[in-house]
Amino acid sequence: MAVPLVTLNTGYNCPMLGLGTWQSKPGEVEQAVKDAIDVGYRHIDCAFLYYNEAEVGKAIKEKIKAKVVKRKDLFLTSKLWCTFHNPDLVEAACRKSMADLGVDYLDLYLIHFPQGYEPAEDPFAKLDDPFAKLPNGRTNASVYDYVDTWIAMEALVEKGLVRSIGVSNFNKRQLDRVLGVATIIPAMQQIEVHPYLNNAKLIDYCRSKGIAVTAYSPLGSPERPWAKPGEPNLMDDPRLTSIAQKYKKSVPQILIRYALDRGLVVIPKSVKKQRIADNFNVLDFKLQQEDMEQIASLECRGRVCDLGDSDHRDYPFFDEY
């Protein structure tokens, strides 16, 4: 069965099921992308921060060379990292991702977080721990406002480098500020969404503005390195296990289907061939309304992904949504 598409406000179609590449290690992600393309994935979600775009690019190049896909068949997303909020760095950062991916345009480019930081002396050097210590151990906020960054993002569209632009991890107030200056409305907002964090109000707000929503960490990121022993885990939740048994599916398949049935783009991550295939095997069923409601009732504001640095002026997660 074909992956459903969502038409963005730019007129381009985005496959609603994609492969996430966050935490996909070097030596693993190339084969994972090849396996995903063979299975039928056409949407690959990437980011500068993941430090694996060059390897993703190798996989894409090989599959195009083998005539498995053409570039036009693929929807490639990348993201502007927090140390590139200086408008003068935006195009260079975009071109870096394009070069690593081996393409001459991106389908979607997002501002990864609203929080901006000063770059390292070598702005493209790999950061040892970007979530705790930013360039050279500093945590000094960028002097640049993300609305100025947005204007620089618009120039990427005008130059033909990017087809659609958007944001990630922005709250309503921050999104409103972008909308206040935008001549190009964000096409996408990518946010954490799973049953422990349904993000319903922010999703509804984005839709009211014509902005599509991508759900990242749809499985609750059970392999996140900062997970603490004893924390609730969607994979082990008996309420989800019961629903999975009803449909003769796995819990991950139920979670992916839950996102799709909410009309969200969803980007589960895996580097294991069978799991990549299993995550794609969600197109032959839909959840009944009673099960959708039961899954939604698991809401507990259980956010698992947070850049940290809550003292930053643009920290997004204090607001209700």
Separation of alpha carbons 167 and 159, rounded Å: 19
DSSP 255-296: HHHHHHHTT-EE--B---HHHHHHHH--SS----HHHHHHHH
Q: What is the dihedral of CA 242, 247, 250, 253, to 10 degrees?
A: -120
41 given a catalytic annotation: no
Contact in structure between 62 and 32 (CB atoms under 8 Å): no
Per the structure block, which two tokens stand in for 9? 């406000």
Per the structure block, which two tokens stand in for 168? 């990630």
Per the structure block, which two tokens stand in for 82? 């927090």
Q: What is the dihedral of CA 246, 250, 255, 261, to 10 degrees?
A: -50
Selected catalytic residue, list 12, 41, 50, 117 = 50
Among candidate residues 221, 224, 202, 223, the one with its CA nearest the CA of residue 213: 202
The residues that bridge with 14 in the sheet, in sequence order, are 6
Separation of alpha carbons 172 and 126, rounded Å: 31
CA distances from 63 to 24, 38, 67 (A): 19, 9, 6
Total residues found in the chain within this entry? 321
Place of tokens 């109000």: 201
Contact in structure between 133 and 139 (CB atoms under 8 Å): yes
Separation of alpha carbons 9 and 266, rounded Å: 18
User: Annotated active-site positions, please?
Assistant: 50
